[in-house]
Chain A
């Protein structure tokens, strides 16, 4: 009880003396939904905003910004080929609980300088942190190699990206980041997160959603394939037979 009182007495004057600088994010997205149509060839989204403060920014290290865009996650199996009896076959495998189908990190500076390990753990910002691989070490020896190869393969496909220094930040107030979404996009809700950092610690963050949806013909075909699989299969067959017959008839006419 006494301890609590002392604590309160100590805390009181400190709070009155220097009120913690509240810095909030005000942000906007160039588009809140992305439609995948037949001629979809990737898309670029602009994430912009400002830092709102009631007081001038405290001195010391300048503020940094990290913007992440994360696609829907799904469980995965990573397999590794090994030579057995002269031929290369899949031997060991590791199951990843959830890995995002797309993940882009854009920052104002090098990640290892602007973000501490603890904050990364708390907010899951870097690529290795968003890949949820709990208990994989039991599945195979050298399990970390599997996660590393997942990162490598997806980076090669442009699905995982780290763009250090790609966030423009003007006078510690205005920021903007351009994130390119590749053409091979999976449908779902894409989460945009914005972090403000100071001294490697997250001082404010905000998250928003971009809905990526198939539209038009893509939507129609996708729905039909899932809702009416038999009709869809038969329709495909009819197209095949008609096309085969049509080509044959046309070529006979030409001759």
Chain B
């Protein structure tokens, strides 16, 4: 089923798009990440122009996140208070990010910066999570030694002012750390064109000490708004949003997200984290290899040139 996409101006197989949306939606529902860091490179790969891929990918992330959040709400897996606090800060961070993006574009090195940001952040976050969850799994498996269960570890995060009660997370902490995380994620998502779930999920677990069961829903809740904002911004400023492409990806994505959520519930928290760590590390590894190895094609064509 070949389909001609009106904005991307390429003809692609409709079933391929449904499948891609499904895979990304599945992972999104399972791990509570938006999937932006997966769908954008995948769309490049099948020949969608980069600008269209970024804008349309964010539209897909909105849909799969809504689907995932609704599944999480029913099992009380969303901390709305925490989500809103992070969202407010996230918008501010995103505003700053858009400004920095424009500066870097003017300098002509935005592609390199985005790639380096991917490698650096995905690599760092993936490695930390992998190491931590591996240790947790080994501890759990060792017979006789019962792991020390603490609700959360008290760190510098818990000594800050402006404390607030986050009931769903069972936390009584300062609003500053969630705001800092929200702002950082908003900033990065504006620059990297992603929802920021892969940074937010570990930050919530390790920095805020939120229980894993509310982390996924809360992360998705915040991602909906960040990516909705991005989608409309792209549609208005660059007219690169392809509704036909988005529609097919979305159909696959929402079904995938529902299935992913079901599977995610069955898995244990540390299994979930180790799988997400492997996924994040492999994407980082792929981008790092692209930068390090000699590319098969040295030349690339881009539209423009201007006056």
Give the B-binding residues of A (Cβ under 8 A).
36-42, 74-83, 86-90, 95-97, 146, 149-150, 153-154, 183-187, 214, 217-219, 221-222, 225-226, 229-230, 232-237, 239-241, 243-248, 251-252
Q: Which residues of A contact B250 (CB under 8 A)?
A: 239-240, 243-244
Given contacts A75-B305, A186-B9, contact A40 B4 (CB under 8 A): yes
Task: Bits for B59-77, please: 1 = Cβ < 8 Å to A, else 0.
Answer: 1101111111111001000
Q: Which residues of B contact A74 (CB under 8 A)?
A: 303
List 4 tightest A-B contacts by C-beta distance, closest first.
A244-B66, A233-B235, A183-B11, A247-B254
Q: Which residues of A contact B64 (CB under 8 A)?
A: 244
Is A247 a contact of B241 with CB atoms below 8 Å? no
Given contacts A239-B250, A240-B66, contact A81 B298 (CB under 8 A): yes
Q: Which residues of B contact A146 (CB under 8 A)?
A: 299
Is B236 a contact of A233 with CB atoms below 8 Å? yes
For the complex, what is the distance from the CA of A222 to the CA of B6, rounded to whole Å?
6
Interface residues of B in 231-290 (CB under 8 A from A): 231-232, 234-236, 239, 241, 243-244, 246-247, 250-251, 253-255, 257-258, 290
Task: Bits for B1-44, please: 1 = Cβ < 8 Å to A, else 0.
Answer: 11110110111000000000000000000000000000000000
Q: Is B161 an interface residue (CB 8 A)?
A: no
Which chain B residue lies CB-closest to A81?
A: B298
Q: Is B143 an interface residue (CB 8 A)?
A: no
Q: Is B302 an interface residue (CB 8 A)?
A: yes
Is A77 a contact of B304 with CB atoms below 8 Å? yes
Is B7 a contact of A241 with CB atoms below 8 Å? no
Is B304 a contact of A75 with CB atoms below 8 Å? yes
For the complex, what is the distance from the CA of A214 to the CA of B111, rounded to whole Å?
31
Which chain B residue lies CB-closest to A249?
A: B70
Given contacts A38-B244, A218-B6, contact A88 B297 (CB under 8 A): no
Is B258 a contact of A86 with CB atoms below 8 Å? no
Is B258 a contact of A247 with CB atoms below 8 Å? yes
Q: Which of A95, A184, A217, A229 contacts B11 (CB 8 A)?
A: A184
Q: Which of A90, A186, A225 contacts B111 (CB 8 A)?
A: A90
Q: Which of A77, A244, A252 contacts B62 (CB 8 A)?
A: A244
Q: Which of B63, B70, B74, B292 contacts A88 (CB 8 A)?
A: B292
Which chain A residue lies CB-closest to B72?
A: A248
Is A243 a contact of B241 with CB atoms below 8 Å? no
For the complex, what is the distance from the CA of A234 to the CA of B59, rounded to whole Å?
10
Q: Which residues of B contact A89 (CB under 8 A)?
A: 109, 112, 291
- Would you mind naming 21 contact pairs between A and B with Cβ atoms under 8 Å apart? A39-B3, A40-B4, A42-B11, A74-B303, A76-B303, A77-B305, A80-B298, A80-B299, A89-B109, A146-B299, A183-B10, A184-B9, A218-B4, A221-B243, A225-B235, A236-B243, A239-B63, A239-B243, A243-B250, A244-B64, A244-B69
